[in-house]
Chain A
Amino acid sequence: MKKNDWILIITILLIAAIFWLIHTKFLQDEGSYVTISVDGKVIHQYSLEDDIDVEIKGVNEGINRLVIKNGKAKMIDANCPDKLCVHQKAISKDKETIVCLPNKVVIEVHAKEEQEYDAVVK
């Protein structure tokens, strides 16, 4: 390996570390509610305090089943071909997401402050 290779790798890892710091700083907030978006538009929001089991209609006849239990949201079933959304961990912290790309369904956790702000806007 050349010296430049090391410079490249170390620079990249530093950038990742900075991103990670910003990331955790913003992620520390506990989530309060989740929004469900289909094709970029928010169609629903649910409190993380409620126990919920809903089917979400995605694009192209996509269906995703979202469950909220014990303050965590998880995609438990989907008819997408890759099933990657179903394999994602349960989410509960602010700004965490579960994404189903084929069905264009995004579940996103938000902190309380944002909810109040949203309420004012609406």
Chain B
Amino acid sequence: MTQLLNRRNNLINKIPYLGVFTAGAIILSYIETIIPFYFGIPGVKLGLTNIMILIILYLTGTKDAFLVSIVRIILTGFLFTNFYSLLYSLAGGIVSLIVMSLLKRTNRFSIIGVSVAGGIFHNAAQILIAIFVVETASIAYYLPILIISGVVTGMLIGILGKILVPRVRAVIVR
């Protein structure tokens, strides 16, 4: 019974934090839309929001990360972007989260490796959708640039995650 109560308490306590992370991810999405940073491929973003998803993945688990990721994508889709951007974000977000969650579960990689894999699959999924949307396979030629940018942003976000996860955990679990 106490265990059940604890679980309920955890669940209730978690919700405000998930809300804060969703809000944070939305703000980062907005920053991404106003940064004049362009890879030469439409729809490709730096993936700053992934820091929020990564922290949730390590703090409260895959389900919460999915929830926040999808809420973030749908809300930002309506707020700042158009339908196609929504499609790319959704593909990138879901695929990268599946990959990160699976890699994390193997326990063979640190948060940095997990984040790098997430960054790459985020970009790869977006380019795959782009190929279908415009029905032109030649966009695949951009893949090397996307892979490298995925590694770089993935590493930066992973390092940031490594610093932030223990700190946020210290705040939430008191």
Contacts and interface: CB of A to CB of B under 8 A. Distances in A.
Interface of A: 1-2, 4-5, 8-9, 12-13, 15-17, 19-20, 23, 26-27, 37, 39-40, 81-82, 84-85, 87-89, 95, 97, 99-102, 104, 106, 108
B113 A99 contact: no
A2 B43 contact: no
Interface stretch (B53-61, B130-138, B166-174): B130-138
A48 B143 CA distance: 26
Interface of B: 38, 40-43, 81-82, 84-85, 108-110, 112-113, 116-117, 120, 130, 133-136, 138-139, 141, 143-144, 147-148, 150-151, 155
Contacts, number: 94
State the main secondary structure of chain B at its contact with A. Answer: helix
Nearest to A89: B40
A101 B84 contact: yes
Contact of B134 (A84, A89, A99): A99
B141 A1 contact: no
Nearest to B110: A2
A50 to B, nearest CB: 22
A99 B42 contact: yes
Contacts of B148: 13, 16
A81 B155 CA distance: 31
A82 B34 CA distance: 11
Contacts of A4: 108-109, 113
Given A2-B113, A16-B151, 7 more contacts: A2-B108, A2-B109, A4-B113, A40-B134, A82-B42, A99-B41, A101-B133
A106 B108 contact: no
Nearest to A6: B113
Contacts of A104: 133-134
